[in-house]
Structure 1
Amino acid sequence: MPRPFRPRAAALTVCAVLLPALLAGCGGDDEGADPTRQELDWKSCPAPSEAQGGGPPPSPLPGDRGEWSCATMRAPLDWDDPGGDTIGLALIRARSSGPADERIGSLIFNFGGPGVSGVTTLPAFGDLYATLRTRYDLVAFDPRGVGRSAPVACEDDQQLDALLQQDATPDDAAEQRELLRSTEDFNAACEANSARILPHVRTTDAARDLDLMREVLGDEQLHYFGFSYGTELGGVYAHLFPGKVGRAVFDAVVDPTLTAEQGALGQARGFQLALDNYAEDCVSQVEGCPVGESAQDVKDRIAGLLKDLDGRPVPGVFPRRLTQSTATGGIMQALYSRDFWPFLTDGLEQAYDGDGTILMLLSDSMNGRGENGEYSNLIAANTSINCADAKPRYSPEDVRRSLPAFRSASALFGDFLAWGMIGCTDWAVPGAADRPDVSAPGAAPVLVIGNTGDPATPYEGARRMVRALGEGVGVELTYEGEGHGAYNSEDACVQRAVHGYLLDGKVPAAGTVCR
């Protein structure tokens, strides 16, 4: 559960009206064809759809090395009925830049969420993976329920604006009833608009899609790079298809041993640690910290800001106002990367002066809201996949029982993450399990990278993933750094280890530490 669960409110959006280009998610597609015998029709990539986040088509590849190409792969809607209806899964690819005789195959990426569009994310980071591209075709996809792949539809943009300004940390019985009502209404809207796809967005379904993708792309084994929730997807794939695992890297690792409640509690500790590190860094600057005189003062002032915003929002991105909930989300987004810490400082300075613009823009980024006011379907997909995967259904009584533990883990984020657990209340589809099964005896080695300062997937999860994969499978590497993930920090030590394995098959020594 890398992205924090969030309470939702209601919306009624009709898929055929809101997403006319995404027919795979709304109508009946091809039936009866053998999906393993299909050939992909690669073409120039269109501009991203609204559900993918909008924007221009991907830029040409650097160095005059061609363009990104896109295709749609058919997959069974219901993997228990592989000969029945199919859905379209959107793919993007950059062909290998190196000599043909040195090409290993396709390297498939998943960037997490759940709910992140791989089709839009991979080209945004294309330069970062240029070395990997020397021996692989780089491939990413929109998982089922996401982007152009049978997207889940729940709310329209205006309703999401209102929802995300709602009080997500209720202080009394009336506010709790309102939060529960809006969550139930949102979930009912998802069922009304997306009933066909909701039972089929579990991670086990996406893992079977991955294996079909491997086969259609012509690879004997799956070479895979998973980030955040993508590590859970990779672990589930390894469990289902251990003999098909090729060279795989898991970065920003989800702890597969935790229930949804335990995962949320771990995130409370993780974001608190990241905030502590931010505060210490701010006051260590030579020019001083403009948002506090000491690390504790920084955190006390943030707590005071959030308390004030609970009853007195300040102007944000017109016409919206920065509320306690949107400010909390903006702060959490800034803690995902050390590169965002200066924006957090600027945003706090602004907010103390009564201007919530920067914190609201950070919150918008976290929730998939574009500058034009349109949302991707990140929130809908994140909720749908999490609720289809996780069996527990938490009540307000469960939250109230757990609040002391959450507040002990983080006075700032504890209530926010605890109340987010009710997001699956009255969900239309039962959850699959308490925890994902990632045991993969006999699989090839998987490089598992944990970051000691990761707020969203705390460091301890990497070691537990290694143990859960099984003896001789998981190989742990530690990065002593900040932010969500290690490879994208461009740390030379981490990248040498990843390149050594993915490009040359050299597994680093277990317990390697990169500082």
Structure 2
Amino acid sequence: MKKPIVTLLLGAAVLTACGTTGQPAAKNTAAPAAKSTGTITWSPCTDLTTPDGKPATPGAGVECGRLPVPLDHAQPGGEKIDLALIRVKATGDRLGSLVFNFGGPGASGVDTMSLAATAFAKLGSRYDLVSFDPRGVERSSGVRCGGEIDKIISAGGDADTEKLTKEFAAACEKDSGKILPHVGTMNAAKDLDLLRAALGDRQLNYVGFSYGTHLGAVYATHFPKNVGRFVLDGAFDPTVTFEERAVIQATGFDQAFAAFAKDCVAQSCELGADPAAAEKAVETLLEGLKTKPLKVGDRELTYGLAQLAVITPLYAKQTWSMLEQGAAAAIKGNGTALLALADAYTGRRPDGTYSTMMTSLTAINCADNAERPTAAETAKVNERVKKIFPILSLDGSTGTCAHWPVKGDNAAKRIDATGSAPIVVIGGKGDPATPYQWATKLTDQLKTGVLVTYEGEGHGAYLSGNGCVMGLVDAYVLEGKLPAPAATCAA
């Protein structure tokens, strides 16, 4: 998923990161294609984990592998890093490979595919389902930042966020300085073409969710002739500035919160007798946590963690009940459920360690943007966010990218896939994280995009289980049948 950009204070979802304006459209300059080799050695998976950090048992047909890629693509013969891969072998007459990126940026494709493969069983009847940990993520030279990540995520409302973010950035440089200059979507797209070649596929067949739509769009821009059957679900517009992104996402989550409250009341809501009362109950709970965190065992449910706990279930209608139950319990003094939701968002494991989800997210976002908002600019945007959706605001915060040890650039902002095969872009009218307008804009930027509109709630449409969306996607990926122009799927 394309997470709201937290200012690191990672535990507080202020949408004030390092977005930037797009570059002027330029003539498409396709990168040279990697040669098709089919050279990956696959073997049984040995280190898969569940979302709570426990060992996971791979299912039938699941294999893992590694692909060496250049640390610096400008020096292809130089030092290499390994990309961690996973494959679920096709159960029927094989058409080729279908590569997935599940978003973030920073999500582990290896762990996600091991758990989600059954959701793509129809596609898996004809394709090997393949995913990977992108560079800078988990097993692929994942960005690690010492114990500072726990301080950042667990910080309360009175934290010195300027100090914390400086210390966090310094720890990332100390622990992961070698990889930091080489993460980012441009490098990931080049890795993706090396993966295509290593899989032995002439063209890349690809499904990207949320941030994965950005990676797919950048790939299509630089390797248009290598684009096979592409689906981009929960589309991201890379041209928005950090302020535009904050305001648009705040509006999206505000609408999702209102829809949650209305749905909650329609089903005998524990939080209030009408939608306004339900919303107020959650807001009052969070406000109280600013000065009095809630004890949960030897931990505390702080204001920042509770913000994440509220945001997390707003991504999908199927998880709205978790917000109702968790908030109702916290109001009564039990913050266990909300703390678990926050931990799921941040990748915290039961032993207190973290996946690289949040550190990788920061490194990739800072690499993909040249804009470095100052504390004053961040405060200005925070005031706008506060007026729209206060739950996403954080007073006194500053953007981590302002302190990041590596400069970002805007290369991944230019999207133009002229010359590629048609690319299916899906946008949801009720998507809080990647609002519908981004899907229309990405479709236009691609030049080869075909827009599908989903009128339902939630972040991403295919995994909502909507039969219309799934049918259109399956028909394209399996049969090459494009959706009709302006195709729309009801909720």
**Under a length normalisation based on structure 2, what TM-score does the superposition of the two structures give?**
0.91
Give runs of aligned pairs for residues 219-234 of structure 1, distance below 5 A.
219-234=201-216
2:95 aligns to what? 104
2:193 aligns with one of 205, 211, 223: 211
Amino acid at match of 1:155: G
Q: 1:270 to 1:488 in 2, by over 3 A?
A: same
Encode CA deviations 1:148-196: one digit per residue, 9 max, x unaligned: 101111033xx4333222136x6xxxx5xx1011101100110111111
CA contact (8 A) 2:224 2:417 kept: yes
- What's the counterpart of residue 273 of structure 1? 255
Compared with structure 1, are the counterparts of its residues 373 and 35 closer, same or farther at alpha carbon in structure 2 (3 Å cutoff)? farther
- Which of 61, 75, 78 aligns to 1:81? It is 75
2:6 aligns with: 6
Partners of 2:52 and 2:344 within 8 A in 1 = no
Looking at structure 2, the residues matched to 494 and 194 of structure 1 have their Cα atoms a distance apart, in angstroms, of: 40
Distance 2:396 2:422 in 1: 38
The equivalent residue for 2:24 is none
Taking the aligned partners of 1:435 and 1:258, their CA distance within structure 2 comes to 12
What residue number does 2:371 align with?
A: 392
Distance in 2, Cα, partners of 1:49 & 1:482:
29
Distance 1:438 1:53, change over 3 A: farther
- For 2:203 and 2:478, how far apart are their aligned partners in 1? 15
Q: Which residue of 2 aligns with 1:161?
A: 150
- CA separation of 1:9 and 1:447: change in aligned 2, threshold 3 A: closer
What residue in structure 2 maps to residue 370 of structure 1? 349
Identity %: 41
Conserved 8 A contact 1:206-1:233: yes
Does the aligned pair in 2 maintain the 1:35–1:76 contact within 8 Å? no
For 1:359, which of 338, 357, 363 is the aligned residue?
A: 338
Please report how far the alpha carbon of residue 40 of structure 1 lies from its aligned counterpart in structure 2 after TM superposition: 1.3
How many Å separate the matches in 2 of 1:292 and 1:216? 56
| 1:458 aligned residue (435, 442, 451) | 435
Q: Report the alpha carbon displacement of residue 402 of structure 1 after superposing the two structures with TM.
A: 2.2
1:175-324 alignment runs, 5 A limit:
178-285=160-267, 288-316=268-296, 318-324=297-303
Q: Deviations over 1:99-122 (max 9, x none)?
A: 2xxx22110000010000000001
Q: Judge which range, 188-197 or 37-46, deviates more.
A: 37-46
- 1:451 CA displacement: 1.1
Cα distance change, pair 120–186 in 1 and its aligned pair in 2 (3 A)? same
1:13-52 to 2 correspondences below 5 Å:
39-48=39-48
Counterpart selection for 1:133 from 124, 147, 151: 124
How well do the aligned residues superpose, as a CA RMSD in angstroms? 2.0
Secondary structure of 1:238's counterpart equals helix
Q: Distance in 2 between matches of 1:305 and 1:104?
A: 52
**Does structure 1 conserve the Cα–Cα contact (< 8 Å) formed by 2:379 and 2:397?**
no
Structure 2: how far apart are the matches of 1:421 and 1:131? 45
2:415 corresponding residue in structure 1? 438
Partner residue in 2 for 1:114: 105
Q: 2:305 and 2:191 mapped to 1: Cα distance?
A: 35
1:507 equivalent among 467, 482, 486:
482
Partners of 2:355 and 2:208 in 1: CA distance: 21
Give 1:402's aligned residue: 381
Q: For residue 290 of structure 2, give the secondary structure of its aligned residue in structure 1.
A: helix
Are residues 1:427 and 2:407 paired? Answer: no
- Residue number in structure 2 paired with 1:25: none
How far off its partner does 1:409 sit?
2.4
1:85 maps to a residue whose letter is: E
Partners of 1:259 and 1:420 lie apart in 2 by 18
Which protein, 1 or 2, shows the higher relative CO under an 8 Å CA cutoff with sep ≥ 6? Answer: 2
Alpha-carbon distance in structure 1 between the residues aligned to 2:214 and 2:144: 24
Deviations 1:64-104 (A, max 9, x none): xxx311110010100111111110000000111112xxx22
Distance in 2, Cα, partners of 1:390 & 1:53: 31
Give the match's secondary structure for 1:224.
strand
- Alpha-carbon contact 1:5-1:421 (below 8 Å) kept: no
> What SS does structure 1 have at the residue aligned with 2:453?
strand
Instruction: Note the alpha carbon deviations across 1:36-87, whole angstroms, 9 max, x for none.
Output: 767211100012379x9743244323xxxxx311110010100111111110
Q: Please give the alpha-carbon distance, in whole angstroms, between the structure 2 residues aligned to 1:467 and 1:180.
A: 39
Change over 3 Å in CA distance of 1:141–1:53 after alignment to 2: farther
Alignment of 1:123 with 2:114, yes or no, is yes
Superposed structure 1 runs of 4+ greater than 4 Å apart: 34-38, 418-421
* Deviation string, structure 1 residues 137-156 (Cα, Å, up to 9, x no partner): 11000000011101111033
Whole-Å Cα distance in 2 between the matches of residues 57 and 360 of structure 1?
23
Shift of 1:260: 2.7
Instruction: Deviation per CA, 1:291-323: give whole Å up to 9, x if none.
Output: 01111111112111111110011122x211111
Q: How far did 1:433 drift?
A: 1.2
Displacement of 1:428 in angstroms is: 1.0
In the alignment, the residues of structure 2 paired with residue 36 and residue 129 of structure 1 have an alpha-carbon distance, to the nearest angstrom, of 26
Aligned to 1:59: 58
Partner SS state of residue 481, structure 1: strand
1:467 aligns with 2:444: yes
Confirm or deny: 8 A CA contact 1:90 1:141 kept in the other structure: yes
User: How far is the alpha carbon of 1:420 from its aligned partner?
Assistant: 6.5
3-state DSSP of counterpart to 1:43: coil
Shift, 1:6, TM fit: 2.7
Question: SS of the counterpart of 2:399?
Answer: helix
Distance 1:339 1:211, change over 3 A: same
Residues 89, 278 of structure 1: alpha-carbon distance in 2 compared, 3 angstrom cutoff: same
2-structure distance, mates of 1:431, 1:264? 19
Alignment length (residue pairs): 467
Measure the CA separation in 1 of the matches of 2:299 and 2:151. 9
Deviation at 1:242, TM superposition (A): 0.7
The answer as to whether partners of 2:36 and 2:202 remain within 8 angstroms in 1 is no
Is the 8 Å Cα contact of residues 9 and 185 (structure 1) preserved in structure 2?
no
Indicate how the Cα distance of structure 1 residues 260 and 440 shifts in structure 2: closer, same or farther if over 3 A, else same. same
Corresponding letter in the other structure for 2:203: Q
Counterpart selection for 2:313 from 313, 326, 334: 334
The one-letter amino acid paired with 2:82 is: G
Task: Return the TM-score normalized by structure 1.
Answer: 0.87
| Shift in CA distance, 226/192, structure 1 to aligned 2, threshold 3 Å | same
Deviation of residue 411 (structure 1)?
2.7
